[in-house]
Amino acid sequence: MLRHLLASAVLLSLSTLTLAHEFRAGDLMIDHPWARELPPTSATSAAFFTLHNHGAQEDRLLGASTPVAGKAELHTHIHMGEVMRMQKIDSASIPAHGMTEFVPGGNHVMLFDLKQPLKAGDSFPLTLQFEKAGKVEVTVNVEAAPAQHEHQGH
Protein backbone atom coordinates (compact mmCIF):
# COMPACT_ATOMS: atom_id res chain seq x y z
CA MET A 1 0.00 0.00 0.00
CA LEU A 2 2.75 2.40 0.98
CA ARG A 3 4.74 1.46 -2.08
CA HIS A 4 1.71 2.12 -4.24
CA LEU A 5 1.23 5.55 -2.66
CA LEU A 6 4.87 6.41 -3.22
CA ALA A 7 4.66 5.38 -6.86
CA SER A 8 1.68 7.63 -7.48
CA ALA A 9 3.39 10.50 -5.69
CA VAL A 10 6.37 10.15 -8.02
CA LEU A 11 4.16 10.07 -11.10
CA LEU A 12 2.26 13.10 -9.89
CA SER A 13 5.39 15.14 -9.28
CA LEU A 14 6.79 14.15 -12.68
CA SER A 15 3.70 15.37 -14.51
CA THR A 16 3.63 18.56 -12.44
CA LEU A 17 7.24 19.15 -13.37
CA THR A 18 6.53 18.88 -17.08
CA LEU A 19 3.47 21.10 -17.02
CA ALA A 20 4.87 23.83 -14.83
CA HIS A 21 8.30 23.81 -16.47
CA GLU A 22 10.16 23.74 -13.17
CA PHE A 23 13.43 22.08 -12.25
CA ARG A 24 14.47 20.95 -8.77
CA ALA A 25 17.84 20.32 -7.21
CA GLY A 26 17.76 19.67 -3.49
CA ASP A 27 16.19 22.73 -1.88
CA LEU A 28 16.43 24.78 -5.05
CA MET A 29 13.69 25.19 -7.60
CA ILE A 30 14.38 26.78 -10.97
CA ASP A 31 11.14 28.12 -12.33
CA HIS A 32 10.31 28.67 -16.00
CA PRO A 33 13.65 29.20 -17.75
CA TRP A 34 13.07 31.18 -20.97
CA ALA A 35 14.92 33.23 -23.54
CA ARG A 36 13.58 35.87 -25.86
CA GLU A 37 13.42 35.26 -29.58
CA LEU A 38 15.66 37.76 -31.37
CA PRO A 39 16.33 38.53 -35.04
CA PRO A 40 18.66 35.92 -36.65
CA THR A 41 21.25 38.69 -37.07
CA SER A 42 21.67 38.91 -33.29
CA ALA A 43 24.61 36.88 -32.02
CA THR A 44 23.65 37.40 -28.37
CA SER A 45 20.58 36.67 -26.29
CA ALA A 46 19.73 36.28 -22.63
CA ALA A 47 18.08 33.62 -20.48
CA PHE A 48 15.76 34.32 -17.57
CA PHE A 49 14.23 32.26 -14.71
CA THR A 50 13.28 32.49 -11.06
CA LEU A 51 15.38 30.72 -8.43
CA HIS A 52 13.57 29.62 -5.26
CA ASN A 53 15.48 28.41 -2.23
CA HIS A 54 13.34 26.30 0.12
CA GLY A 55 16.32 25.47 2.33
CA ALA A 56 17.70 27.02 5.50
CA GLN A 57 21.05 27.86 3.87
CA GLU A 58 21.94 30.43 1.26
CA ASP A 59 23.06 29.10 -2.11
CA ARG A 60 24.74 30.98 -4.95
CA LEU A 61 24.52 30.73 -8.70
CA LEU A 62 28.13 30.77 -9.88
CA GLY A 63 27.86 30.37 -13.63
CA ALA A 64 26.11 28.87 -16.62
CA SER A 65 26.93 27.12 -19.86
CA THR A 66 25.00 25.92 -22.89
CA PRO A 67 25.93 24.15 -26.13
CA VAL A 68 24.03 26.79 -28.17
CA ALA A 69 26.32 29.66 -27.15
CA GLY A 70 30.08 30.12 -27.26
CA LYS A 71 29.98 31.75 -23.83
CA ALA A 72 27.42 32.35 -21.08
CA GLU A 73 27.92 34.98 -18.36
CA LEU A 74 25.94 36.12 -15.36
CA HIS A 75 24.96 39.75 -15.85
CA THR A 76 23.01 42.38 -14.02
CA HIS A 77 21.86 45.87 -14.98
CA ILE A 78 23.15 48.88 -13.11
CA HIS A 79 22.12 52.52 -13.32
CA MET A 80 24.86 54.76 -14.73
CA GLY A 81 23.26 58.15 -14.29
CA GLU A 82 20.32 58.11 -16.68
CA VAL A 83 21.25 54.93 -18.55
CA MET A 84 21.08 51.26 -17.66
CA ARG A 85 24.26 49.33 -18.33
CA MET A 86 24.86 45.61 -18.24
CA GLN A 87 27.58 44.41 -15.92
CA LYS A 88 29.08 40.97 -15.44
CA ILE A 89 28.65 39.54 -11.95
CA ASP A 90 30.59 36.67 -10.37
CA SER A 91 27.62 35.12 -8.61
CA ALA A 92 24.03 35.69 -7.58
CA SER A 93 22.81 34.88 -4.07
CA ILE A 94 19.63 32.91 -3.45
CA PRO A 95 18.86 33.64 0.22
CA ALA A 96 17.62 30.93 2.59
CA HIS A 97 13.83 30.62 2.21
CA GLY A 98 14.07 33.30 -0.44
CA MET A 99 14.16 33.79 -4.17
CA THR A 100 16.16 35.59 -6.85
CA GLU A 101 14.67 36.61 -10.14
CA PHE A 102 16.45 36.75 -13.47
CA VAL A 103 14.28 39.08 -15.52
CA PRO A 104 14.64 41.49 -18.46
CA GLY A 105 16.15 44.71 -17.11
CA GLY A 106 17.69 42.89 -14.13
CA ASN A 107 19.85 39.83 -13.64
CA HIS A 108 20.17 37.61 -16.69
CA VAL A 109 22.34 34.90 -18.18
CA MET A 110 23.95 36.55 -21.18
CA LEU A 111 24.53 34.22 -24.13
CA PHE A 112 27.36 35.20 -26.48
CA ASP A 113 28.29 33.81 -29.90
CA LEU A 114 25.02 31.98 -30.53
CA LYS A 115 25.61 29.02 -32.82
CA GLN A 116 22.07 29.12 -34.20
CA PRO A 117 19.22 31.65 -34.19
CA LEU A 118 16.84 31.22 -31.26
CA LYS A 119 13.35 30.79 -32.68
CA ALA A 120 10.14 30.93 -30.67
CA GLY A 121 8.99 27.41 -29.84
CA ASP A 122 12.56 26.06 -29.71
CA SER A 123 14.20 24.99 -26.49
CA PHE A 124 17.78 24.37 -25.48
CA PRO A 125 19.67 22.95 -22.49
CA LEU A 126 21.33 25.29 -20.00
CA THR A 127 23.58 24.04 -17.21
CA LEU A 128 23.52 26.17 -14.08
CA GLN A 129 26.37 25.84 -11.59
CA PHE A 130 25.43 26.40 -7.95
CA GLU A 131 27.78 26.63 -4.99
CA LYS A 132 25.87 24.04 -2.93
CA ALA A 133 23.40 22.36 -5.29
CA GLY A 134 26.12 21.75 -7.90
CA LYS A 135 25.37 21.51 -11.60
CA VAL A 136 21.74 21.52 -12.68
CA GLU A 137 20.64 21.19 -16.29
CA VAL A 138 17.41 22.96 -17.19
CA THR A 139 15.54 23.38 -20.46
CA VAL A 140 15.14 26.94 -21.69
CA ASN A 141 12.06 27.72 -23.80
CA VAL A 142 12.47 30.34 -26.51
CA GLU A 143 9.52 32.72 -26.49
CA ALA A 144 8.48 35.45 -28.89
CA ALA A 145 9.16 39.02 -27.81
CA PRO A 146 6.02 40.72 -26.53
CA ALA A 147 4.08 42.07 -29.53
CA GLN A 148 4.98 45.66 -30.24
CA HIS A 149 2.21 48.19 -30.48
CA GLU A 150 1.49 48.60 -34.16
CA HIS A 151 -0.09 51.65 -35.72
CA GLN A 152 -2.35 50.39 -38.41
CA GLY A 153 -4.18 52.43 -41.00
CA HIS A 154 -2.25 55.67 -40.43
Kindly report the number of other CB atoms within 10 A of residue 110's CB atom: 17
110 touches Cu ion (CB under 5 A): yes
36 touches Cu ion (CB under 5 A): no
Rank residues 25 and 110 by Cβ distance to Cu ion and give the closer one: 110
Which residue type does 103 have?
V
62 touches Cu ion (CB under 5 A): no
The least CB distance from residue 140 to Cu ion, in Å, is: 15
Among 48, 75, 92, 114, binds Cu ion (CB under 5 A): 75
84 touches Cu ion (CB under 5 A): no
Q: How far apart are CA 36 and CA 87, in angstroms?
A: 19
Rank residues 133 and 140 by Cβ distance to Cu ion and give the closer one: 140
Interface ranges with Cu ion (CB under 5 A): 75, 86, 110
